[in-house]
A and B are shown apart, each in its own frame.
Chain A
Amino acid sequence: MAKLNVNPTRMELAILKKRLGVATRGHKLLKDKQDELMRQFIELIRKNNELRNQVEEKLEKAMQSFAMAKSLLHENYIEELMAVPTRSVSLNMGRRNIMSVRVPQMNFQYDDNVDDATELSYGYLNSNGELDLTFEYLVEVMPDMLELAEIEKTCQLMADEIEKTRRRVNALEYMTIPQLEETIYFIQMKLDESERAAITRLMKVKDMG
């Protein structure tokens, strides 16, 4: 390990010792942060996985019944049915702080004019029973899907932060701290050596006298 390019003086030693103290404390703190981030991350990932499976299962069901519905109806009919959106959703984005990672917190607001969230009105003539089912499934999966979006984004942001923290921890642990320690050791040795040299010199001078 390369030592730092510094003059072996007492002054430098004092500075380096101080830096080592800060680095060690910083390392400990960052390590704690990383552990906590990891813990929360794993928890989130588990939840994410579970939710994703659920959402995918429901979406698959919806898409299957949509494929059936679509195959019995003219595509233009279906598009016409949905040409004007029945409901609008507005999104309020908040921020939550997990270990200094700012993650999004989404609040979805459905239009208040619709009394019942599951009530979608459309013409029955150009739709069929399977399309009813499709809508039912999709309406059901919607809140889960939005929650999944929030969790996935959180996971992404946290993964980024974990990587950054890990890099810092490693840099401190494997670069900065060993370098400092080695340089301190070197200066210490150098100083001891020059001290011994001074003593020897003094003894010699005394002998000569």
Chain B
Amino acid sequence: MKDIAYNSSNVLVRVYENNLLTRAHFERMLAADSFDEAVNVLRETPYRNDVDRIKEDKNYDSMFMNELHETYKEMFDVVPNKELIELFGLRYAYHNLKVLFKEEITEQDFDHLFIPIGRYPIAELRQAVRSGESDVLPEAYMDSINEVKSDYDEYHNAQAVDIILDRRYFTHSRILAEETGESGITELIERYIDYNNLSTLVRGMKQNRTRNFMLTVLSSSGSIPKEDLLKLMDNDLNAVVQYYKNTKYRQLIERSIDDETGELTTVNVDYETDNAYMEKMREAKLESFGPMPIIAYLYAKETEVMNLRLVLSGKESGLTADEIRERMRLSYA
């Protein structure tokens, strides 16, 4: 698609970006003495309408969900390339699929667990999960659904639903990235998958997972070959560090090492990969053409929600400002 196709949406996104919460907002929330005071800061932000409600019921998750829902809806409306938004909202679609499968398996009602974000309505997904067929959903969705279905029919293991869908999510992301036809998107998704694979690898090794398990959870859609990652499983975490030092993720891995123990920690890896991804997104600030500003805005919104949730839930459970601060992800604005 031509670069100028995004012109009108990029202008709009630039305006929206001004509404993102800044570092100063977060700092004030951190400095607040109580949950209520922290919520008060939100009165100056687009979240102002929910402030009073949250103070009462502390149900900030629903506010975040609404906000994201609105953001995605708006983007679906203004962006000419729907696959692009579908790609970045795919995580929610897969979450909904998981919930649907679990509903099917347990015959319970998990209605409250759905996140209504995504290109295709939940009713459509539900029908596909039940019947294994759909006239609306693209093939990649159906492949995922059918893979889970056949696995469950064979092994009757409910936990495998999550694991298979997680892996399929990455594969599907890559397919969608290629479908968007935008340069740079595939590379971005590849990077995203690499980050997730690294995190998965480190977590799996810390938990002494079996090779078989890792074979299922690691994605082969990243730039680092899955075989290499599996080979690293046989060694220790130092080998992982050494391996990654020879890739383009050298800086990332060096920062993920704990200063005190000199080892990779899962928390650090999660933190650093999120930040590195954001660094990449920040490059979009200087771009005026192409899809990057929109993607960056979506990611900025997601990160904003993540940080807000961190601050609010930290305040609610009485964590200190420093404890919260050291976990806060880099924000876009």
A interface residues (Cβ-Cβ under 8 A, vs B) = 67-68, 70-72, 74-77, 79-81, 83-84, 86, 121-126, 128-130, 132-133, 136
- Give the residue of A74, A84, A121, A126 whose beta carbon is less than 8 angstroms from that of B106: A84
Contact of A83 with B102 at beta-carbon distance under 8 Å, contacts A123-B165, A125-B91, A125-B169 already known: yes
Contact A80 B102 (CB under 8 A): yes
Residues of B within 8 A of A79 (CB): 113
Interface code B81-119, partner A: CB below 8 Å = 1, 0 otherwise?
000000000010011001100100110101011110000
B196 at the interface (CB under 8 A from A): yes
B175 at the interface (CB under 8 A from A): no
A-B contact pairs, 9 of them (CB 8 A): A68-B319, A72-B270, A84-B105, A84-B159, A124-B166, A124-B196, A124-B199, A128-B270, A132-B206
Residues of A within 8 A of B98 (CB): 80, 123
Contact A68 B115 (CB under 8 A): no
Contact A125 B166 (CB under 8 A): yes
Contact B95 A130 (CB under 8 A): no
Contact B166 A123 (CB under 8 A): yes
For the complex formed, measure the closest distance between the CB of B194 and the CB atoms of chain A, giving whole angstroms.
Answer: 14
B331 at the interface (CB under 8 A from A): no
Contact B265 A72 (CB under 8 A): no
* A74 CA to B69 CA, complexed, in Å: 13
For the complex formed, measure the closest distance between the CB of A114 and the CB atoms of chain B, giving whole angstroms.
Answer: 10
- Give the residue of B115, B196, B206, B314 whose beta carbon is less than 8 angstroms from that of A76: B115
Contact B159 A72 (CB under 8 A): no
- Give the residue of A76, A77, A80, A132 whose beta carbon is less than 8 angstroms from that of B203: A132
- Give the residue of B95, B196, B312 whose beta carbon is less than 8 angstroms from that of A80: B95
Contact A72 B105 (CB under 8 A): no
Residues of B within 8 A of A75 (CB): 61
For the complex formed, measure the closest distance between the CB of B105 and the CB atoms of chain A, giving whole angstroms.
Answer: 6
B317 at the interface (CB under 8 A from A): yes
* A122 CA to B217 CA, complexed, in Å: 10
B200 at the interface (CB under 8 A from A): yes
B325 at the interface (CB under 8 A from A): no
For the complex formed, measure the closest distance between the CB of A7 and the CB atoms of chain B, giving whole angstroms.
Answer: 75
List B residues 169-218 near A (Cβ within 8 Å). Answer: 169, 196, 199-200, 202-204, 206-207, 213, 217
For the complex formed, measure the closest distance between the CB of A4 and the CB atoms of chain B, giving whole angstroms.
Answer: 65
Contact A72 B102 (CB under 8 A): no
Smallest CB-CB A-B distances: 4 pairs: A129-B266, A123-B162, A71-B313, A84-B158
- Considering the complex, give the chain B residue whose CB is closest to the CB of A71: B313
Contact B200 A76 (CB under 8 A): no
Contact B113 A80 (CB under 8 A): yes
- Considering the complex, give the chain A residue whose CB is closest to the CB of B323: A68
B53 at the interface (CB under 8 A from A): no
Residues of A within 8 A of B61 (CB): 74-76
Contact B207 A86 (CB under 8 A): no
Contact B99 A124 (CB under 8 A): no
For the complex formed, measure the closest distance between the CB of B158 and the CB atoms of chain A, giving whole angstroms.
Answer: 4
Contact of A68 with B95 at beta-carbon distance under 8 Å, contacts A74-B115, A124-B166 already known: no
* A79 CA to B112 CA, complexed, in Å: 10
Contact B162 A129 (CB under 8 A): no
- Considering the complex, give the chain A residue whose CB is closest to the CB of B204: A124
* A86 CA to B157 CA, complexed, in Å: 9
